[in-house]
Amino acid sequence: MRTMKLGTSNLEVPVVAVGCMRINSLDKAGAERFVQTALEEGANFFDHADIYGGGKCEEIFADAIHMSDSVRENIILQSKCGIRQGQFDFSKEHILESVDKILQRLRTDYLDILLLHRPDALVEPEEVAEAFDKLESSGKVRHFGVSNQNPNQIALLKKFVKQPIVANQLQLSITNANMISNGVNVNMENDSAINRDGSILDYCRLHDITIQPWSPFQFGFFEGVFLDNPKFPELNAAIDEVAKKYDVSNTTIAIAWLLRHPAKMQPVTGTMSIERIKDCIRASDIHLTREEWYAIYRAAGNILP
């Protein structure tokens, strides 16, 4: 698979990340087949979070991949922490404790990337900085990032945190594309012009922070997928037309649409289907034309002023 640099780091990563949030839906044999297929296809970047399956997803993954030193050398592991029952927690104590438990479940000595999961209203960035320093100096985490944060939240962290923020995981799909549409509809009096995220897309590009789109097939907030959904006839017709041209699936085109953006994003998949993960990975070989990209964008109901 095609690769890219993650943020300002020297870490070379596949352009498509394998999300493991639903790996607990597979039996042991199915999980092994899924992970092996991803590796065979060059998708060796695996995204986790300590809340996925209450931690079980990380354990299941470690079993499925038969974690060992030799295996660990050939994969890239990312996990997230900060979500607790009924609250968010970026305290130094919680971050350090969470990472130790993540490493134990994944049966590894280090994470390639740790992301802070959802903004904590009570964050004390000085504590985050202390936690990051300790994790880096101990070798437990090599790179750091955030998830679902806006520019000023990142800037506040960067005032105290010395490590580069290499990634920001954000909800983005063809139908959930406000971070793109508000930049297209600047100075317009329509809903698409509403800036809901502080121009996070431009901020990440300016500061070389890799955007990792999550839920790349979802519409709304986990309301369902737009592919083959009768609620989106025009969008699916546009996607199917482009898919036919390239002789690939509609899944491939939905990911290729994200990869076409010059921000050099790294979509995070959520599927546990072997065929669909293969289709996602095939997107790395597709480069949509400007006309194709905009046709799909408009077909989703996104307007041009």
Neighbour-count burial of 136, counting CB atoms closer than 10 A to its CB (0-12 exposed, 13-18 middle, 19+ buried): middle
Collapse the DSSP code of 88 into the 3-class scheme (helix H, G, I; strand E, B; otherwise coil) and give the result.
strand
Taking each continuous run of H as one helix and of E as one strand, the counts in the chain are 12, 13
Report the C-alpha gap between 23 and 57 in whole angstroms.
6
Residue 155: CB atoms within 10 A of its CB come to: 15
Catalytic residue among 52, 246, 294, 297: 52
Closest listed residue to residue 62, CA positions, set 51, 48, 80:
48
Would you say how long the chain is, in residues? 305
110 labelled catalytic: no
Alpha helices (H) along 49-91: 56-64, 69-72
Question: By the 8 A CB rule, do 120 and 76 touch?
Answer: no
Give the HSE-up count for residue 85: Cα atoms under 13 Å, Cβ half-sphere: 2
Rg (CA), the chain: 19
**Which residues are part of the catalytic machinery?**
52
